[in-house]
Amino acid sequence: MKFTINRNLFIENLNNVMRAISSRATIPILSGIKLDLTETELTLTGSDTDISIEIKIPVNEDLNVESTGSIVLPARFFSEIVKKLPGKDFSFEVKESFQTQIVSENSEFTINGLDANNYPRLPEIPDNAAFTISGKTFREIINETQFATSNDQTRAVLTGVRFFFNPTNIKAVATDSHRLSQRTITLENGPQAETDLIIPGKSLQELARIIGETDPEVKICPGDNQALFVIGNLSFYSRLLDGNYPDTDRLIPTEKTTSVEFDISELSSALERASLLTHAGRNNVVTLTLDTTNQTAKLSGKSAEIGNVEEDVSFRNLEGNDLQISFNPDYMRDALRASITDSVVMSFTKPLRPFVINPDKDDIEFVQLITPVRTY
């Protein structure tokens, strides 16, 4: 196996493959990156068993093939070496007993590789149920839901986002039992058949990073326990979570007794100020007091050791019953960060029941739920 390649082109692709490689790999060979060279393309593969990424670089003027073959190299070292090489191009040659020589200008590295035949094979996922969505839409829906997933590995299904891909829309729900985020986005041409997947939050985070600010097409191929996402020359394999995702539709209250509208930036800054104190104390709780007769909305927080804070927040359309409700300011901050409008409508039922945060525009289907905190 021998080739020369443009270093920048290689690094760009290498960085994406590195996302899948964990420094604490459970199987030693997975701490490596697999390079596989044919007459037509160079394939880079990285995996941590939950996520696998495969990138194909086609042969062109930046990639010259002298002889084909494959090798596994220690990923961290290899990537650090390539990033620090002096020249514009480098040459790569596998010698006897998996010794790999990397040469760029005056610098020459020889590192020990591993037999690529021992590298696990990626699952083969048929693309008969595949469909394509816009990367921008996919990234948006990830950013609006993924933050609400649970970190508790003992109930694995809640660490994922549940996606319903329908012919006309995508619906995604995530909850950690204290808060919930559900977003529905209309699609122009979704999948033919309805597809229901629970995708791990961590995979989605990496996918969103790979999609980035551009708007590539994302091809989604659902498999039995893995799903494949194809973005340009990159194939992203993610484990799917199995198990019964709880019915979340019934959690969303349909009635309300009090509702109020807040400007996101104003409420966020008020919350940040209150959090200065509440983060210091043992109970991270802020209290919102809504008085409909006097038309006031007050946000307060205290820490037994340090002191307290109280501030009037400006609002619009406060109606219904008076209410005092306490909640974790971090959940509210996350909810506001995920919001895409300038202001949100909050609807409450009872002081100890989850309350709803909606965008102020009816045509955006985005529901967030936060469970209040009991204060005694």
Partner 1 sequence: MDPYLKLQRLKETTENMTKTIASLENDILDTLKENTELKVENQLLHEKLDKLTANQPAPETKTQSGLESLKKIYDSGYHICNMYYGSHRDPSADCMFCLDILDNFGEKKGIKKDGR
Which residues are near partner 1 by CB under 8 A? 154-155, 158, 175, 177-178, 180, 246, 250-251, 283, 285, 328, 352-354, 369, 371-374
Write down the least CB distance from residue 61 to partner 1, Å. Answer: 56
Residue position matching structure tokens 């058949």 = 193
For partner 1, the closer CB: 191 or 372 = 372
Are the C-beta atoms of 98 and 71 separated by less than 8 Å? yes
For partner 1, the closer CB: 121 or 374 = 374
Q: Which residues neighbour 327 within 8 Å (Cβ) at sequence distance 6 or greater? A: 285, 286, 288, 355, 370, 371, 372, 373
Write down the least CB distance from residue 159 to partner 1, Å. Answer: 12
For partner 1, the closer CB: 43 or 248 = 248
**Tokens standing for 6?**
């443009």
Q: Which residues neighbour 367 within 8 Å (Cβ) at sequence distance 6 or greater? A: 180, 181, 182, 183, 252, 356, 357, 358
Closest CA to 89 of 6, 14, 10: 6
For partner 1, the closer CB: 354 or 359 = 354
Write down the least CB distance from residue 184 to partner 1, Å. Answer: 19
Write down the least CB distance from residue 334 to partner 1, Å. Answer: 14
**Rounded to whole angstroms, how far apart are CA atoms 313 and 164?**
37
Write down the least CB distance from residue 373 to partner 1, Å. Answer: 6
For partner 1, the closer CB: 98 or 245 = 245
Q: Which residues neighbour 249 within 8 Å (Cβ) at sequence distance 6 or greater? A: none
CA atoms 183, 188, 194, 199: torsion sign: negative
Write down the least CB distance from residue 244 to partner 1, Å. Answer: 8
For partner 1, the closer CB: 185 or 369 = 369
